[in-house]
Structure 1
Amino acid sequence: MRVVGLMSGTSYDAIDAAAADLVLEDGTLVLTPLGMVSEPYSVELRSALAGALPPATTTLAQVCRLDTLIGRAFADVAVRADRELCQGRAELIASHGQTVFHWTEYGRVHGTLQLGQPAWIAEACGRPVVSDFRPRDIAANGQGAPLVSLVDLMWLRGRPGVPAALNIGGIANLTVLPAAEGDPVAFDTGPGNALIDAAVHELTAGRLAYDAGGALAAGGRVHEPLLLRLLEEPYYRMPAPRTTGKELFHRDYLRSALAGFGGLADRDVIATLTRLTARTVVDAARPLGATELIASGGGTRNPVLMEMLRDELAGVPLRTSDALGLPAAAKEAYAFAVLGWLTLHGLPGNEPSCTGARGARVLGSITPGRQPLRLPPVPARAPRALVVAPGPAGAHPAAATDHGSASRRPGSLGARPPDPAGRPDPADRR
């Protein structure tokens, strides 16, 4: 089955689409990567989205408009991925959507909201769409994240020692497989790029959105007193499973942390926040006995962050997921392609020990395409392993960015400009 996975992470800078051919063989799901395309959000849409996220306030009118505009943007990327990567033969679209809020209180998640109305994708592609993956896990008392943990377990099962999968997006998350007895563990470690991005945007008065190539951090020095203050955050001491987001690690959080540290050079602030990400990741992995870290996500394109991780790991191997066949920039999009496949086949998509759910659950909702919806038969047993087969030559050209997505070509997303009548109005931001 050819599946297109759609993903936009907490950096909300672009939409990634990864296409995969998925075949179940003797209890193993074989994934053949077909390639990835990535499109940036238009400046207008990204600005409207940023203006609606915490700590800002918003209105239901703005949420409705964003749900439509993001859905149309996802639809455009899905159409392109089907045409360019699947030769128009995709059978399923799996859309994570854009997370705009993750409702957590005292360590429990009560709800989550991903925008990007799937009806637009189904209408544009004519294919069934699986979306809204997280709420079912939350309804079963889970954290709703990290959902990629099930894919990590299938993919890394059988590796020696205690392998750990690390994804560094706006938020960093970790999946750790035990060596023998015991349950796997997964959780958000804390900010990945979130605070670095916020600082770069703030300190450059909006001129830059992120630290491209780690250039700013490379020119600065870690300020230990600021780092110690940042490490006092109670979230880092919460037991797993735990999840967080930009509801906590946002611009105002950063401003509060910097209070009393006037006079610090901008580059020193960026260097300190980069070290914070590395330190909190390794502080989370070390007690679990991780013997290797396999990293993916936009943070892997920041050489300063990767070098700080190696320094903190003190000899524990750090490699990117590319070495195991999954391109680091596309791994999450491929993971949601797998989760969409599981949903369509009536199979659970969560790992209870990782999310905290009461049990395994089939995730998501299915929006039919143009044809009558025909579900495939449920396999006799769910696949326990995921094997990545070699993909077509040139399926994943070198990434052109150092941040969240694989490529950021200039220009606005999609051929359809937003309808002026539906355009988010700055006056709605109250």
Structure 2
Amino acid sequence: MAMRVIGLMSGTSYDAVDAAAADLRVEGDTLHLTPLGMISQVYGERLRAEIAAALPPAHTTLETVCRLDSRIGQAFAEAADRADRELCGGRADLVASHGQTVFHWTENGRVHGTLQIGGAAWIAERTGLPVVSDFRSADVAAGGQGAPLVGMVDVMWLRDRPGCPVALNLGGIANITVSGGARAPYAYDTGPGNALIDAAARYLTHGRCAIDEHGAMAARGRVSRPLLDRLLDEPYYARPAPKTTGKELFHLPYLLAASAGLEPLEADDILATVTALTAHTVAAAVRDCGGTEVVASGGGTCNPTLMRMLRAELTGVPVRTSDELGVPAEAKEAYAFAVLGFLTAHGLAGTLPACTGARHASVLGSITPGAGPLRLPPPVDGGAPVRLRVAGRP
């Protein structure tokens, strides 16, 4: 059974909705993905400011959450509609929406709940297509971390590569999937990706810059060893996998508290230090698993200073972007959720318990019908696929 699926993703940087379209079909034990392209629907400044004001450690109201759920849903709906028209010729079969994460409830290493907003009904109404959403809740209910959900897709994708390949996502939070080596596949959040970099850039430029564009500030700065050492004392890094984190922990007040009492630093030096923190913690995770190559994706791959620092930390381990394997680095997560939506529509599990820590694998998400009757495809002959092959790649 072939389907044309649009995957929607907005990460913890909450700057835009990425919509990636793909043709997906199963042959034997292999799921074949043909990328059709990606569009990015930038959040308006007002909406982005409202999201920022509602996220931890700020306090918010149910009224604000309700308003954001609708406004984000409308932004996702516009992105899906554009993707259907511009990438699929109006012939998409399904939309898979991750939504916008606004809270990930963790205590003592266990996840008790997770909240992604952006009402699926807005997407279904705008496009007329069925929508799979709320992907994370089923895994959390089964005792899992609910993240990183791309683990199963990464394992399928990198299964036949030699050695111990590591898939790395450099979003607001960095996460890895280890798909080979001596132990079963596993995945976890390594710590901040762009979260502290973005927070510092916004604060130190008084809001003029939302990010450290091309890592320019960090490139001019010098790493402060006292601040870096203090940041590396964070207990999260010593916890065993699987584990997840978010901006509930890694935010501006966290960075300011870590800086308290230290010699004042120039803005460029602070950016260099938090960029080095991301590179160091990711590299430590790769070394710990015996990784033989890193396949990176996410917005952080557009930061040459971060990538240079990461390669310097991992001398002898190739660090390449997912573009080299046929998946655009900035669209990789959106394509991953297109795959997860395809699996859900076919009644197939979208998690690996070894990657999330759940008691069992789960079929993910809830399905919102589109304009017509909801008709799910028949089961896949021969069971669930175990490999993912991207068109144009061997």
Tell me which residue corresponds to 1:86.
88
Deviations 1:20-60 (A, max 9, x none): 00011112000000000001100010001100000100000
- For 2:170, the equivalent position in structure 1 comes to 168
Residue 145 of structure 2: aligned partner:
143
For 1:334 and 1:94, the matched residues in 2 are separated by 10
1:155 aligns with 2:157: yes
2:112 pairs, out of 81, 85, 110, with 110
Aligned pairs for 1:352-363 within 5 A: 352-363=353-364
AA of the residue aligned to 2:133: S
1:263, distance to aligned residue in structure 2 (A): 2.2
Aligned to 1:414: none
C-alpha separation in 1, matches of 2:357 and 2:154: 16
1:337 and 2:348 matched: no
Distance in 1 between the 2:263 and 2:225 partners?
14
Distance 1:125 1:358 in 2: 36
Partners in 1 of 2:88 and 2:315 — Cα distance? Answer: 43
> Hey, what does 1:241 align to over in structure 2?
242
- Residue 159 of structure 1: CA displacement? 0.4
Structure 1 contact 33–390 (Cα < 8 Å) conserved = no
Distance 1:263 1:284 in 2: 30
RMSD of aligned residue pairs (Cα, Å): 0.9
**Match for residue 51 of structure 2 among 49, 65, 68:** 49
Distance 1:150 1:91 in 2: 22
Deviation (angstroms), 1:182: 2.9
- The Cα offsets for residues 200-256 of structure 1, whole Å up to 9 and x where unpaired, read as 111111111100000000100111111111000000000000000000001110110
User: Contact 1:104/1:111 (CA < 8 Å) preserved in 2?
Assistant: yes
Which letter does structure 1 place at the counterpart of 2:226? P
Report the Cα distance in structure 2 between the residues aligned to 1:268 and 1:80, rounded to whole angstroms: 41
Task: Please say if residues 12 and 98 of structure 1, whose CA atoms lie closer than 8 Å, have aligned partners that are also in contact.
Answer: yes
Aligned mate of 1:40, from 39, 42, 46: 42
Aligned to 1:120: 122
SS at match of 1:31: strand
After TM superposition, give the deviation of residue 283 of structure 1 in Å: 0.7
Whether the 8 Å contact between 2:201 and 2:211 is mirrored in structure 1 is yes
CA–CA separation in structure 2 for the residues paired with 1:262 and 1:115: 41
Letter in 2 for 1:338: V
Could you tell me which residue of structure 2 aligns to residue 99 of structure 1? 101
Report the secondary structure of 2:48's partner residue: helix
- Aligned AA (1:140): A
For 1:426, the equivalent position in structure 2 comes to none
Corresponding position of 2:352: 351
After TM superposition, list the pairs within 5 Å mapping 1:259-270 onto structure 2.
Answer: 259-270=260-271
CA distance in 1, matches of 2:97, 2:85: 17
TM-score of the aligned structures, taking structure 1 as reference length = 0.90
- Whole-angstrom CA distance in 2 between matches of 1:290 and 1:182: 12
Q: Does 1:223 align with 2:220?
A: no
How far residue 315 of structure 1 moved from its aligned partner, in angstroms, is 1.4
What is the SS of the residue equivalent to 1:166?
strand
Instruction: Number of aligned residue pairs: give it.
Output: 390
Q: What is the rounded CA distance, in whole Å, between the counterparts of 1:45 and 1:350 in structure 2?
A: 32
Query: The residue matched to 2:22 in structure 1 has which SS?
Result: strand
Letter in 2 for 1:63: V
Q: Does 1:212 align with 2:213?
A: yes
Q: Does the 8 Å CA contact 2:159/2:180 hold for their aligned counterparts?
A: no
1:239-388 matched pairs, under 5 angstroms: 239-379=240-380, 380-388=382-390
**SS of residue in 2 equivalent to 1:242:** coil
What is the CA-CA distance between 1:262 and the residue it aligns to?
A: 4.0
Q: Which amino acid aligns with 2:115?
A: L
Identity %: 68
SS in 2 for 1:95: strand
1:279 Cα deviation (Å)?
0.2
* SS, match of residue 102 in structure 2: strand
Contact 1:93 1:337 in 2 (8 A): yes
